[in-house]
């Protein structure tokens, strides 16, 4: 009696959830790299593996090196080695695109920082204005003993009043 279903064919379809897709990509990419490494070890062959993630980040695996692996093959149409193919413009285009994305992100962050700084200025101004209006924050220096006793009694009355309200379910 079997406890598992055994080896079954898995239907190949796109993983819909982005996070799950990235996890699957990461696991499959490492699995493929292991298989390529195994082929290199067993057969002593030159290999190249290039894959781009959904975010556009390139991942490569080459043995013994990318230049040597490309140089070992010839283009069947022109009989020129792949190493002579100019990949510079492709790399430069990728770099320009990446820089453009990073610059836009930088501009967005600078704008967000400016908004936060404005909010902070408004809050500080409001806090300063409200502080002047709060009678209980006024300094006690320069008050006479009678004024200090009056203020103390006001606080005690306020405390009693608020304590009474707590019993009524106000707080």
Distance CA 97, CA 129 (A): 48
The upper half-sphere exposure of residue 59, i.e. CA atoms within 13 Å in the direction of its Cβ, equals: 12
* Separation of first and last alpha carbons in the chain: 66
Q: Is 75 among the domain residues?
A: yes
Assign residue 67 the CATH number of its domain: 3.40.1810.10
Confidence of residue 89 (pLDDT cuts 50, 70, 90): confident
pLDDT, greater one: 115 or 77: 115
pLDDT of 107 strictly over 90: yes
Q: Which pTM value belongs to this model?
A: 0.37
Q: Is residue 100 part of a domain?
A: no
| 3-state SS, residue 27 | helix
| Number of domains, the chain | 1
Within a domain: residue 108?
no
Whether 99 is covered by a domain: the verdict is no
In a domain, 105, yes or no: no
Phi, psi of 52 (to 5 degrees): -110, 135
Please indicate, yes or no, if residue 24 is contained in any of the structural domains.
Answer: yes
Domain that holds residue 61: 18-85
Residue 112 is predicted with a pLDDT of 93
Residue (of 67, 57, 62, 68) closest to 36 by Cα position: 62
In eight-state DSSP terms, residue 81 is: B
Mean pLDDT over residues 125-132, rounded?
72
Residue 23 lies inside a defined structural domain of this protein: yes
Of 18-32, 71-85, 86-100, highest mean pLDDT = 18-32
Residue 71 lies in a domain: yes
């Amino acid at each position: 009696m079997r406890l598992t279903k055994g080896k079954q064919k898995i239907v190949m379809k796109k993983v819909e959830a982005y996070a799950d897709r990235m996890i699957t990509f990461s696991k499959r990419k490492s699995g493929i790299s292991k298989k390529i490494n195994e082929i290199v070890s067993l057969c002593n062959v030159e290999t190249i593996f290039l894959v781009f993630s959904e975010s556009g980040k390139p991942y490569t695996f080459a043995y013994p090196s990318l230049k040597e692996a490309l140089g070992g093959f010839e283009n069947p149409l022109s009989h020129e080695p792949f190493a002579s193919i100019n990949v510079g413009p492709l790399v430069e285009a990728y770099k320009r695109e990446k820089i453009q994305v990073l610059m836009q992100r930088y501009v967005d962050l600078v704008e967000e920082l400016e908004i936060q700084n404005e909010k902070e200025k408004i809050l500080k101004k409001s806090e300063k204005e409200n502080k002047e209006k709060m009678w209980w924050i006024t300094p006690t220096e320069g008050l006479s003993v009678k004024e200090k006793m009056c203020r103390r009694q006001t606080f005690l009355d306020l405390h009693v009043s608020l304590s009474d309200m707590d019993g009524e379910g106000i707080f």
